[in-house]
Amino acid sequence: MTTPIVTCRGVSKVFGKGELAVHALREVDLDIMQGDFATLAGPSGSGKTTLLNMIGALDHPTSGEVTIDGQPLSTLGKGALSDLRLNKVGFVFQAFNLIPVLSARENIEFVLELQGCPAAERHRRSLEVLAEVGLEGLADRRPSAMSGGQQQRVAIARALVSRPSIVLADEPTANLDSKTTSELVGLMYRLNQELGTTFLIGTHDPRVMQHSKRHIELMDGRISSDTAK
């Protein structure tokens, strides 16, 4: 029986207090399994980004528990949470979040440097993962000299280089045209199929949702449907 990579039990998040309180998540129960290629959708304000932040240990639930690879996040201190984000979770953001003064290769190697990886190994692995995302020959190019789609490929490569348990992507195609979106979705799906990388993608984009193996809908902070395809 497959063990979940991520487990959420009774996860709630409240911002503010009293009459101004906003219930972003309400008693969410969710399991993400190894090899899932899942989309997380819902209208603006439904709780998608908040849930991704809870799973990625970027924020803490008001109540309930998130577990990653069997480790309850509430039991971890600040340093251990940083280590978990570095080693277990890959992030792909809408705005790419690349460091502009670094090349594609250096952006990817930065993650490995934080992990204490030796220079020669960093160089080898960064070139390897750039090849996986189809960016051979662009290793020394800075983000400003790359298209939006190329920058997002670098962001995906950076998320993959540590071979995380799960990659979380928050609206990764929002700033991209249809052709680039199709190429990137195909890339993530191929990485899921060939490498077994687990993806949870927050999106409004039907072009992304049509490729998912599993589709989760949020409404008013609750899971309203969870459908395998």
The answer to whether residue 12 sits within a structural domain is no
Query: Model-level pTM?
Result: 0.91
Out of 49-53, 71-75, 191-195, least confident range? 191-195
pLDDT in tens, 145-177: 999 999 999 999 999 998 898 999 999 888 788
Q: What is the CATH number of the domain that holds 127?
A: 3.40.50.300
Average confidence score pLDDT of the chain: 92
pLDDT for residue 91 is more than 70: yes
Please check whether residue 111 lies inside any domain of the structure. Answer: yes
Distance of alpha carbon 98 from alpha carbon 119, whole angstroms: 20
91: number of Cβ within 10 Å: 17
Tell whether 25 is covered by a domain.
no
Tell me which residue range forms the domain holding 117: 35-52+75-228
Cβ atoms of 202 and 40 closer than 8 Å: yes
User: Domain count of the chain?
Assistant: 1
For residue 19, is pLDDT > 90?
no
Specify if 16 maps to a domain.
Answer: no
- Tell me, yes or no, whether 166 lies in a domain: yes
